[in-house]
Structure 1
């Protein structure tokens, strides 16, 4: 009988799949190493178990101990499988930008999940790096994994992933492309492949907001490059010891939008349901296409499963909120279609200025149309209110009609964005859209700017 003694024995030997539609413009054979076939649905299963086994071997992890790690979710899943099979407890520290699905999955496999803010410095006591270290110090019989600097991470891919890729391509691989986060995958695979053939080119996929690309090219760790980004699993605001820059030929950066869009395209056009970093990776391959020749064999690694991003990249509302869906926006009605069902906030001429201020604050808006029994007769703008307050501290008790500006222009629903843009200027901060049946909606500068792709 053929069977695995436990789930950990099913890790590895993931398939290599030829990409067809998305790579039509590339003069090379492009193959995807699809790591979602691992039992924890990601490449991180490999290094998680390797790190546990090495820690057991040298006594850092003792029987009945607690494993503690900061993770974007996938390493946590691999550690959870190891903890279940081997009898350990697990605490996963995760940043709040990670998908809810990742957090729920970790809890489902028995991990305690601690969520930390994303947009803080690594040295901030609230960061998931700092919280992980603190919990390790406070928890008896615990082991802090530290996948960023734990070189067992790289070793796992040198021993497993690299040899698999070499064997599956019969040594014909010419380029390896992969997203870089902790650095273990790119460094381990690169070390193995370059030992077999020093001419194999290694390309890392980075994201905007991360330091890798500039550091590789200049040796400068530029803190000005660090800012919050949406793409999960790749990029860093630190330099992990697992990233061996000497083995990497170059980096290309991929935007958050492109990573999200190409994640969806992989599912729709290739039938490969994989995660956010895979979208970044295949877009990176397309950006690098001038480096490939017809006889080349390009291998791109897809890290994890799309199931962990159902509420994000695979959710139209989430994509639309961030401007990632290329809906055609040409008319007034296109600008307001996502909120045209909401009532127009107005004030009346005889109401007090304090009422307008309350509505500006409550609805977090900057402009309000003013009406009377005959219709729209004026407007209130927060900038004008501030100017009036500077001149008269008792402004809040005065009627709206004493401080209101001229009414906003009214346009039809099919009015072009170009025409609307001409109407919005320093003297006129908004326009009203006539939706018919007596309904109106407001378009502001913010709506115009949000439509820019």
Structure 2
């Protein structure tokens, strides 16, 4: 077998695989005779474009003998740069401290903590010169800690994104008109624009930021009152003094709703697993494409830099409930979510599933009898019913029984009660082995669908939980939807 492309070589250093990210056509490839491409920077190993920054800085510090394993690295960041740096120096065991704004997602904080990074929170709205600002906090901390260094993205070397520029030009075969870049500190876009225009001066580079961020309207490095936008990794309430915007050809501001809706649309329609800031960049790219004035037969080409992964936003971007609660999805996406969660069930209840009568077993039955019964009826679980009052007390699982029989902890003649998941307290002071949630014939199918997000089956009982009426699975729910031709 011969591979069309050679895979990366074996390496002992993750940094060796930074870059060379793919570029793909998105949203059908064209919009208003503009070809729209996405550079998937989130495919770097910790999920963001910041790995290029981290690699460049760490290698530069080591080459200048400014970084040893005993050096404490302090990083003012919205999160991604600290994640990338922590990954780069993991083998060297450097202590890393991340000074992050309060709005940084819980998912990023969990990842940073798991990587051994110490977290310091700073007020989101604090201006650059404020004592509590994350940059001021980082430098003040560095003064107190011996053998420490601050990695400040606003002061990174100008050549840090030369490789990215070269990749973009090669992948597009120099057939490129517009590049769209998300802006937080301005370091990425200014350095990338410089590198791109050095090779192809006519390229237009656009900055993308949240509504109410300062870059698009800044004059004389003024500050503006900050609104608490939801998009992470984009936007600022100040412009760094060393930011050079002379190579930026324009600015596009994007609302939270457009950013999050586009990111979810990219996931659902394209399989692209980018974060909300990347969603903002794609929205800006498409919006620009729809307004391009076409006076020739030339097909324009735009590249959107997708800088982050949605894996760092599991509790926000990937949570339907959070998006709806915060009004962060457009009308089309809202209708899709509402349809999937409730409307497609058309107010139907468990009773409409027309489940067969429940097959049950008593706690005193043997393990071998339970397995034979499940094999005969092709069930994976059986409700366990109290032999005297017929009340549901738990359930037995085929996989659990087989596992215990396999390792010798269970015997075929053991009673089911010994190995069942018990909905009741067994002994005084002993906790229940399974939490019971009431499912009755009147339970809506929308609620049953939510139940199946965490459970593999549901035992259906009467409202008093005296009688076991049936067992429902997600298979029954899908069959119901299929019968109604809505699956």
Above 0.5 in TM-score?
yes
Q: Tell me which residue corresponds to 1:76.
A: 82
Q: Tell me which residue corresponds to 2:273.
A: 273
1:339-350 matches, cutoff 5 A: none
What SS does structure 1 have at the residue aligned with 2:31?
coil
Alpha-carbon distance between aligned partners in 2 of 1:292 and 1:82, rounded to the nearest angstrom: 45
Q: Tell me which residue corresponds to 1:7.
A: 14
Per-residue CA deviation, residues 386-440 of structure 1 (Å, 9 max, x unaligned), is xxxxxxxxxxxxxxxxxxxxxxxxxxxxxxxxxxxxxxxxxxxxxxxxxxxxxxx
Alpha-carbon distance between aligned partners in 1 of 2:260 and 2:222, rounded to the nearest angstrom: 26
Shift of 1:60: 3.6
Mark the CA change 1:261 to 1:244 in structure 2 (over 3 Å): closer, same or farther: same
Bigger drift between 223-232 and 303-312 goes to: 223-232
Per-residue CA deviation, residues 256-288 of structure 1 (Å, 9 max, x unaligned), is 111111111111111101011111101111221
What SS does structure 2 have at the residue aligned with 1:129?
helix
- Does 1:180 pair with 2:189? no
Q: Tell me which residue corresponds to 1:263.
A: 263
* Preserved contact between residue 62 and residue 141 of structure 1 (Cα < 8 Å): no
* Preserved contact between residue 214 and residue 220 of structure 1 (Cα < 8 Å): no
Alpha-carbon distance between aligned partners in 1 of 2:148 and 2:25, rounded to the nearest angstrom: 43
Per-residue CA deviation, residues 119-163 of structure 1 (Å, 9 max, x unaligned), is 333333332222212211111100011112x232x42112x1001
Alpha-carbon distance between aligned partners in 2 of 1:188 and 1:78, rounded to the nearest angstrom: 19
1:120-159 matches, cutoff 5 A: 120-148=126-154, 150-152=155-157, 154-158=158-162
* Preserved contact between residue 277 and residue 303 of structure 1 (Cα < 8 Å): yes
Alpha-carbon distance between aligned partners in 2 of 1:304 and 1:110, rounded to the nearest angstrom: 21
Q: Tell me which residue corresponds to 1:196.
A: 199
Alpha-carbon distance between aligned partners in 1 of 2:285 and 2:26, rounded to the nearest angstrom: 11
Alpha-carbon distance between aligned partners in 2 of 1:129 and 1:36, rounded to the nearest angstrom: 25
Alpha-carbon distance between aligned partners in 1 of 2:186 and 2:100, rounded to the nearest angstrom: 18
* Preserved contact between residue 23 and residue 38 of structure 2 (Cα < 8 Å): yes
- Does 1:236 pair with 2:236? yes
Mark the CA change 1:242 to 1:284 in structure 2 (over 3 Å): closer, same or farther: farther
Q: Tell me which residue corresponds to 1:291.
A: 292
For structure 2, the residue ranges without an aligned partner over 5 or more in a row are: 1-7, 335-341, 343-487
Q: Which of 21, 39, 48 is residue 42 of structure 1 equivalent to? A: 48
Q: Tell me which residue corresponds to 2:440.
A: none
Shift of 1:242: 6.1
1:365-376 matches, cutoff 5 A: none
What SS does structure 2 have at the residue aligned with 1:33?
strand
Number of equivalent positions = 324
Bigger drift between 266-275 and 49-58 goes to: 49-58
Q: Which TM-score applies when normalising by structure 2?
A: 0.63
Alpha-carbon distance between aligned partners in 2 of 1:94 and 1:185, rounded to the nearest angstrom: 19
1:18-417 matches, cutoff 5 A: 18-21=25-28, 25-148=31-154, 150-152=155-157, 154-158=158-162, 160-215=163-218, 219-240=219-240, 243-289=243-289, 290-291=291-292, 294-326=298-330
Alpha-carbon distance between aligned partners in 1 of 2:33 and 2:243, rounded to the nearest angstrom: 30
Shift of 1:225: 4.7
Mark the CA change 1:266 to 1:243 in structure 2 (over 3 Å): closer, same or farther: farther
What SS does structure 2 have at the residue aligned with 1:187?
helix
Alpha-carbon distance between aligned partners in 1 of 2:319 and 2:261, rounded to the nearest angstrom: 11
* Preserved contact between residue 275 and residue 304 of structure 1 (Cα < 8 Å): yes
What SS does structure 2 have at the residue aligned with 1:20?
strand
What SS does structure 2 have at the residue aligned with 1:213?
coil
Q: Which TM-score applies when normalising by structure 1?
A: 0.67
Per-residue CA deviation, residues 317-372 of structure 1 (Å, 9 max, x unaligned), is 2112222235699xxxxxxx9xxxxxxxxxxxxxxxxxxxxxxxxxxxxxxxxxxx
Alpha-carbon distance between aligned partners in 2 of 1:125 and 1:115, rounded to the nearest angstrom: 13
Mark the CA change 1:2 to 1:287 in structure 2 (over 3 Å): closer, same or farther: closer
What SS does structure 1 have at the residue aligned with 2:208?
strand
Task: Report the aligned-residue RMSD.
Answer: 2.3
Mark the CA change 1:11 to 1:100 in structure 2 (over 3 Å): closer, same or farther: same
Alpha-carbon distance between aligned partners in 2 of 1:26 and 1:112, rounded to the nearest angstrom: 48
Alpha-carbon distance between aligned partners in 2 of 1:236 and 1:181, rounded to the nearest angstrom: 6
* Preserved contact between residue 178 and residue 300 of structure 1 (Cα < 8 Å): yes
* Preserved contact between residue 48 and residue 307 of structure 2 (Cα < 8 Å): yes
